[in-house]
Amino acid sequence: MSAVVLKDVTKYYRKYTSKRKFQTLKSAILEHNLFSHLSPKEIIKAVDGVNISIDREETFGIIGENGSGKSTLLKIIAGITRPTSGKLEVNGKVSALIELGAGFHPEISGRENIYINGIMLGLTKKEIDDRLEDIIKFAELEDYIDMPVKTYSSGMYMRLGFSVAINVNPDILLVDEVLAVGDASFVGKCLEKIKEMKRAGKTIIFVTHSLDLTQKICHRVAWMKKGKVMTIGEPKEVVDRYLLDVLGKEEEREIISSMSDRWGNREAEIVESWTEDMNGKRKSHFNYGDGIRIVMKILSKKELKDFVFGVGIFNNEGINVYGSNTSLEFYKPKVLRGESLVKFEIPVLRLINGIYSVDLAVHREDGYAYDYIKGAENFKVHSLNREIGIYRPPHKWSFEGGVEIEEYKKKPSS
């Protein structure tokens, strides 16, 4: 028996408009015309004819761009919202890490909210009594548990919500990007808890923008686009197809908005930056094995003799992939004046599929920033290689003794 089955599930939302209104909601429901009389421009089809069967003990990922219907689908499975049409079958107790602490009351204590939220998630009072200390300890709120929830920070609120939901001991766990909030150590603890549930044979349905995490923990993945399921299959294969689709769009637009954090006294200023190929053509998407140049245009408002140029590359989880500067590589500054171009070149990109951000800096030897731009540039690496991680080193396999193995004749091109 499957844990979750969706058969031709569709979900409509009505756009707000003041031009057309029902006389009464009751009449609309009785006449079965809540959506039928609306034109296509007046409705949003958030989920469109989705058919998915998820096995027991399976970790199933759902990926796609914002607005693709991922979160709506998870809310349908959780019972938070009902489908407009189609059938849903859920076999087992569900706990949803979607809107953590949605049932919390701000005026009462964390301890009291544990009981209220736990009962809402299907626990008895005795079950909550038995798990109370574990919930408080996991949330790291021992010193604050009897304070009103309205005094909690967003991170404390998230920790308490996660701890209650995870201690329900569900058969089916739904996770929707909730780990984007909170400090790194707690996020790591949450991921370990999810992996522990996976080892215990729980069914996990995971919605995330972290393609690397999807490939690490999921058995299968569905890619959604405009409410439809485009494909379901092995994680790396589905992620590659998704990236190919995104890659096609990026020739017409930037990968990510140019918003960034920035600081420094601007005595030397990064007035422009870009990424380009080895022929000097500006671009933001590269294939594995391509060369890339990261270019900074610097304007020094006065003559400087103490200066360092720096570059840092990070993946979409904020992990530092590589960083260096001219001081670390034994370049000795002499003079910086007027307008200059600084180029950092990587002849061969050995990065795994993903979106990467670039920090750029010009600063003094002691680290004092003239200009530091966090996330100054973004670029995407596309590869049909199937490995996971960040870096793909040159490597080969060899076999000896009693092993018979055949190499595929056809390999995907990079």
Nearest-angstrom CA–CA distance, 138 and 167: 10
Specify whether 194 is located in the same domain as 281: no
Task: Report the b/e string of 205-215 with b at 16+ CB within 10 A.
Answer: bbbbbbbbbbb
* Confidence category of residue 355, pLDDT binned at 50, 70, 90: confident
Whether the per-residue pLDDT at 246 is higher than 90: the answer is no
Of 359, 260, 360, 250, give the one whose Cα is nearest residue 314: 359
Neighbours of 52 (CB within 10 A): 19
Q: Which domain holds residue 336?
A: 261-382
CB 332 within 8 A of CB 403: no
DSSP state of 282: B
Q: Provide the 3-class DSSP secondary structure of residue 279.
A: coil
- Is 154 a member of any domain? yes
8-state DSSP, 256? S
End-to-end CA distance of the chain: 40
For the residues of 285-307, what is the DSSP string, one character each?
Answer: EEETT--EEEEEEEEEEEEESS-
Answer yes or no: is 245 within a domain.
yes
Distance CA 14, CA 33 (A): 12
Provide the number of structural domains found in the chain: 2
- Structure tokens that stand for 372 in this block: 């530091």
Quick: pLDDT tens for 88-130. Answer: 999 998 888 776 656 688 899 999 999 988 888 778 899 999 9
Token couple for 54:
């998820």
- What is the average pLDDT score of the chain? 83
Q: Decide: 106 and 148 in contact? Cβ < 8 Å.
A: yes
DSSP letters spanning 116-142 = HHHHHTT--HHHHHHHHHHHHHHHT-T
Residue 399 lies in a domain: no
Residue 42 lies in a domain: yes
196 with 55, same domain: the answer is yes
Is the domain of 267 the same as that of 129?
Answer: no
Q: Which of the pair, 37 or 141, is modelled with greater confidence?
A: 141
Are 123 and 182 contained in the same domain? yes
In terms of Cα–Cα distance, which of 148, 206, 155, 214 is closest to 177?
A: 206
Residues 235 and 368 in one domain: no
Check whether residue 80 and residue 133 sit in a common domain. yes
Looking at the structure, do residues 217 and 111 belong to the same domain, yes or no?
yes
What confidence score (pLDDT) does residue 252 get? 41
* Residue 156: per-residue pLDDT: 85
Question: Are the C-beta atoms of 239 and 232 separated by less than 8 Å?
Answer: no
CATH number reported for the structural domain that contains residue 229 in this entry: 3.40.50.300
Same structural domain for residues 273 and 319? yes
My answer on whether 220 and 331 are in the same domain is no
314 near 320, Cβ under 8 Å? yes
- Say if residue 141 is in the same domain as residue 203: yes
- Same domain for 45 and 183, yes or no, is yes
Q: Which of 200, 218, 250 is the last residue of a domain?
A: 250
Which of 250, 274, 303 is the last residue in one of the domains? 250
pLDDT in tens, 166-192: 888 889 999 887 665 556 677 778 888
**Cα(181)–Cα(198) distance, rounded to whole angstroms?**
22
| Residue 271 belongs to a domain | yes
Q: Do 164 and 282 share a structural domain?
A: no
Q: Which of 221, 250, 279 is the last residue of a domain?
A: 250
Helix axes 154-166, 110-120, angle to 10 degrees: 40
Cα dihedral 113, 115, 121, 125 in deg (nearest 10): 180
161 belongs to a structural domain: yes
- Tell me whether residue 176 is in a domain: yes
Q: What is the CATH number of the domain that holds 275?
A: 2.70.50.60
Alpha-carbon torsion (194, 188, 63, 153), positive or negative: positive
* Residue 390 belongs to some domain of the structure: no
Other Cβ atoms within 10 Å of 53 Cβ, number: 14
User: What is the per-residue pLDDT across 303-322, written as a single tens digit (0 to 9) for each?
Assistant: 999 999 999 999 877 788 99
pTM, entire model: 0.56
**Residue 165: what pLDDT?**
82
